Structures are given as C-alpha cells and as structure tokens.
Amino acid sequence: MVEDPKRKLLMVLALLLLPSSAQTGNTDRLSEHHCMDFQRANFLRGRKLKVQFLLFTSSSPICGELISADDGIKNCSFNSSLETKIIIHGFRALGTKPSWIEGLVQAILHTRQVNVIAVDWVYGSTGAYPSAVENVTQLALAISQFISKLLALGVSGTSIHIIGVSLGAHVGGLVGHFHGGRLGRITALDPAGPKYTRASPEERLDPGDALFVEAIHTDADSYNFLICDHMRAVHLYISALSHPCPIVGFPCASHQDFLNGHCLDCAKPFLSSCPRIGLLEQAGVNMSRLPQEVKVFFMTSPSAPFCVYHSLVEFQLQKKRNRVTSIEISFSSNSTKDTAKITIPKDQETGKRLLAHRVPLCQINSVTLKYIPKNLFWSKDEPFIVGKFCVAPLPLNSSRTMSCLPWSLTLPSKTDISYELPTACA
C-alpha cells in the first residue's frame, strides 16, 4: 500500500495545531472532539437554564470536552478510575465566562491527575440575582442526575469532589444533599450570603452535605466589596494549589480572639494537625473522626502566593500602667517588612498579638519596636516604657516555648528601636 503524501502532511499539520500539552497525551482522542468553551448570555437570554458539562484532563488541560449525562460519557476522555472534581460557578451578572475558571482547572490538574468537570450554567446565572437563585434547585437536580450516571459507570461516590464558588457553593450543597451526604467532599469558596443567611439546612450548604465539607470565607462581614473580597477565596485556593507554601488555619472561637493570640495550636479539636487549604485528604487533618463543625482562622499577605507565617509577639511591662499601652512591632528581612500592634490593657502587664510575616521567623533579621504614647490635652503620657519582648512561631504547643530577648528594653516615645532577632532555621 502506497502512503498518500498529502494525507501525511495533513496529519502533521493537525498535530502542530493542537496545544503543546495535548501532543504528549491521547492525540487520537483529542482529534475526535473540538475544544468547547463556556456559553455567553445576556439579560434577555439569561433566564433559561441551559447547562453544559465541560471535561478537562491532564492530557487536555486547556481544551474543554463537552459531555452529556447520557451514554456519551462512555465515549469521551473521562477516566472512571480517577477522582473527579466538579467546579460550579456562581452568579454571573453580565453573562460572561468566569475569568478564574482556566486558572483553577489548570491548578488542579497541575496538582493531581484527575477528571475536572466545569459546570457551565452561565445562561441561568445571568441577569438579576434573585432569578439566578430561583435556578439553583433545578441546576442541582441536573448535576445530581449527571453524577448518578457517573456512579452507574462504577465511579466511587467518595471520589467525587465538588468545588462551588459563591452561589455555586449552595448548589453543591444541594447536590450533596440529594446524594444523602455520601459524596466525598465539598469545597465552598465564599458561599453566597444574600437569600441564604436565614435559609434552612436543606436549602443551603450544610456540614452534612458530604463526608467532608470545608468553607473558605473571605467576605464574611459585608458584601459591599463583592468583586475584591468575594473572589479572593478563589484566588487563595488557586494559589494554595500552585505554590508549596502552605495556607494553614488555626481553630478559634472568633477572629478577634485569633488576632489577640488566644488560639495558638491545633490541639483542640484537631489533636496534632491544623487544616490546610488544598487537596490534601481531610485538609491534612489526621483524625479518623472529625467534629461536626469547627471555625478556623488564618491571615494572608496582600498578593499571591498569599501564604504567611504566624508568630505570637508579646511585650511584658516592667510595671503596670494606669492607662492603655500601645506598641508597634515590625519584623524585617532582606526583602520584607511586616507590622502588628500590641495593646496592653490598663492595669495589666502583658500584651500579645499575632504577627503575620511573609518569610519564616528564622529569616527575620531584626525586630523594630515603637512605643506610641496616649497624650491627651489634659494629660501627658510617660516619655518611655520598660519591658521585655518575646516571640514564638505558631503552632505553639508543649514542645515549643517562647524565646525572649535576654535584656529589658527601654522604648522612648514615638521612636523606632531595632534589635537583632537571633533565631536559627531548623
């Protein structure tokens, strides 16, 4: 048989036109489908729910493959032996594709060899927010039916991980509820507040909706900053998957208690491991039986990779004062400077605070302290204070104690005083 040179040329050109990452994968499979993208809607077309399921794999991380809940699943690149991550976006006011989808898909596939399915419901999420909320139950039923088809193919329910963003977090909760809470995991990235703050557990995300449920809140106080704070959870999650620096949360009753240094370890209720953002099983918590619900807190840096190191800083006055004492404390390395403020209450000797710093404590070259007096019109504060400075990296447990500068410090009013911070790297 004589090979047609034109046919050979066409095959070579087809390979060159494929994404470079796909050339090393199953090129025959990729040549059978076209890359599909999210739909685009507008206010007039956006009310009807029109759902698409787009499959991404390690061999095709930037080329979405349209799959349906019928027998077509058998004829696509879906691998039933791998874990499946299902991404559900939220409200899309302008009817556009979420800008973060590609970054999240690629971050997941960079970390794990899994099936990633992005649920495109842009049509039903466009327009007014209340109309998008009205589509939540119908969308959850559609996704639930799709998952049922996967289960019928032999996919393990515990291998299914739903990642829901904003309104998509509550969609994921309903999907989990429809499957009796037996799906493996739900990750909720800043679940939507409006219409859900007073909803029943059956109508919203709930701790019982999967075997492991985690919710990352970055806009818990107000939705006035919808774009900035609300989407920060997505960027934190992508960063946690893309960078080795861990984002660790510490269990605590309130955010203020956490900042004030009242929650320093993982002992209660996690025994020896604090949860981490990412794809580690049970968020890295090595307990066979987890408590039903725990609040954990962490601090971040202003930009990617967002991860920081937490240290407890403490100042012990040589004698009590009859007014509040404020001390600004800064950690400096070769490339960073991070600051926190200690407040010592009236008639108390010790004040403490958490300080978030972008490099490990052992890379901090110096600590700078500044006493900030409380001068009032009728009363002048003391010109200086005397005390002792101590620090310890978190988690702080029985095997790790605070280290203190071995001398008393005299801090003049409104003056930066710097000291070397001798801490060795392990």
Domain-ending residue, one of 197, 221, 242: 242
Q: For residues 66 and 164, state if they share a domain.
A: yes
CB of 189 closer than 8 Å to CB of 234: yes
* Structural contact between residues 394 and 264, judged by C-beta atoms closer than 8 angstroms: yes
Active-site residue set: 166, 190, 230
Residue 23 in any domain: the answer is no
Last residue of a domain, one of 242, 263, 289: 242
User: Rounded to an integer, what distance in angstroms lies between the CA atom of residue 91 and that of residue 192?
Assistant: 9
Phi, psi of 41 (to 5 degrees): -125, 175
Q: Is residue 290 part of a domain?
A: yes
pLDDT at residue number 32: 53
Provide the β-strand partners of residue 411: 385
Query: What tokens were used for 169?
Result: 């977090």
Judge if 181 and 114 occupy the same domain: yes
Q: Please check whether residue 5 lies inside any domain of the structure.
A: no
CB 305 within 8 A of CB 242: yes
Q: Which of 258, 237, 102, 86 is nearest to 160 (CA)?
A: 86
Task: Determine, yes or no, domain membership for 365.
Answer: yes
Low-confidence ranges of the chain (pLDDT < 50): 1-31, 222, 224-228
Strand partners, 417: 369
The count of domains in the chain is 3
b (16+ CB within 10 A) / e for 400-425: eeeeebeeebebeeeeeeeeebeeee
Please report whether residue 266 resides in a domain: yes
Looking at the structure, tell me whether residues 229 and 343 fall in a common domain.
no
Do 222 and 260 have their domain in common? no
CATH number at residue 400: 2.60.60.20
Check if the beta carbon of residue 163 is closer than 8 Å to that of residue 84.
no
Residues 141 and 184 in one domain: yes
| Residue 25 placed within a domain | no
Structural domain ending residue among the three candidates 195, 222, 242: 242
Same domain, 96 and 187: yes
Query: Residues 209, 187: one domain?
Result: yes
The predicted pLDDT at position 421 comes to: 85
Q: Within this chain, do residues 212 and 290 fall inside the same structural domain, yes or no? A: no
Same domain, 154 and 283: no
- Same domain for 163 and 61, yes or no, is yes
**Whole-number pLDDT of residue 418:** 95
Distance CA 40, CA 136 (A): 19
- Decide if 19 is inside a domain: no
Cα–Cα dist 39/47, whole Å? 13
Tell me, yes or no, whether 212 and 236 share the same domain: yes
Q: Are residues 195 and 271 in the same domain?
A: no
What CATH number does the domain containing 59 carry?
Answer: 3.40.50.1820
Is residue 92 in a domain?
A: yes
Please give the residue range of the domain that contains residue 268: 248-298
Residue the block writes with tokens 């500044």:
370
What is the structure's pLDDT at 419?
93
